[in-house]
Structure 1
Amino acid sequence: MECTYEEGEKEDLLTFTRSGVKGTLLVDAHQFEMKAQLGFLFGAFKDRIEAEIGEQLDALLNAPHPGARKPAAGKKKPAAEADAAKPAPKTTAKPAAKARKA
């Protein structure tokens, strides 16, 4: 798959293409927006492709930060720290995959 990445002031743009698929992914501080045009063969798998992309993004967004430190066993955090350590609300990106008509 060929990809080009353009970093913008307020949002970044990833453009991707390969045989049977082309599209864009816009990313800003609050959301992802994916648009994909699927060729005839990939169009038959649109629902599965969309579900897989959503699952992968959910897993990546909910994964612990690699540099995050785990609290020591047996120690409780003060309430203010505990609230600050809560993960951000779950974000689900719903890609807009469109089948191309022949």
Structure 2
Amino acid sequence: MNSLRLIVHGRVQGVGYRDWLAQTARALGVHGWVRNLTDGTVEAVISGRAGAVQACFAACHDGPPLAEVIRIESTACDPPDRAIFEKKTTAER
């Protein structure tokens, strides 16, 4: 199982990015979570089969129609505790 922690920069809050990512991840069979950070970025953990994680990561560069993704920081991480994809509350970075 592959797992990535993402920090998505750009216009990614107030444009439906979290809902879009949750729907995209679930459709790809990826689990993890997504949340807004107080600095205006979006943080996510995506985990699953290598091909599904890569497809989800690639899609994150586009996001929903109103988003403008400037860059994504990605690092390997431990898989999430639960085999679902969930939206979490906003957190400090």
Structure number with larger C-alpha Rg: 1
Is this a same-fold pair by TM over 0.5? no
TM-score (norm 1): 0.31
Q: Which has the higher contact order (CA 8 A, sep 6+)?
A: 2
When the two structures are superposed, what TM-score results if normalisation uses the length of structure 2? 0.33
